[in-house]
Amino acid sequence: MDKILNIVNDLEKSESLDDQYYFKLIHESVASLLDREINQLFQLLYRIDISEQAVKKVFLDNADKTLISEQLTYLIIERIKQKIELRKKYSSKNNPES
């Protein structure tokens, strides 16, 4: 779980992200946690601030673990993008010279 949190923290600090590259990195960790440590996966999703309703929907809509891990990875990437955009928005408001 620490590996994926480090990736997420690095991504949140970046200006943009390469979806395909980071999708692969995050998906590997999500799939592994889904197979071996599902409680840690839920803790991770909570720490990243993925909505409980979105997570429930993924599990209800998909029976295949591969699809579940892919959808959870998309949720993580979308949340990271939201955080990047919010940071840009509010940092530009606080710094009128940018």
How confident is the prediction along the chain (98 residues), in pLDDT tens digits per residue? 677 777 777 777 666 666 677 888 889 999 999 999 999 999 999 999 999 999 999 999 999 999 999 999 999 989 988 888 888 788 766 665 54
pLDDT of amino acid 21: 78
What b/e sequence results for 73-93 when a residue is b if at least 16 CB atoms lie within 10 Å of its CB, and e otherwise? bbbbbebbeebbeeeeeeeee
pLDDT of amino acid 1: 62
pLDDT of amino acid 15: 62
Listed by start position, the domains of the chain span 2-94
pLDDT of amino acid 68: 97
How far is the C-alpha of 29 from the C-alpha of 51, rounded, in Å?
19
Taking residue 37's Cβ as centre, other Cβ atoms within 10 Å add up to: 13
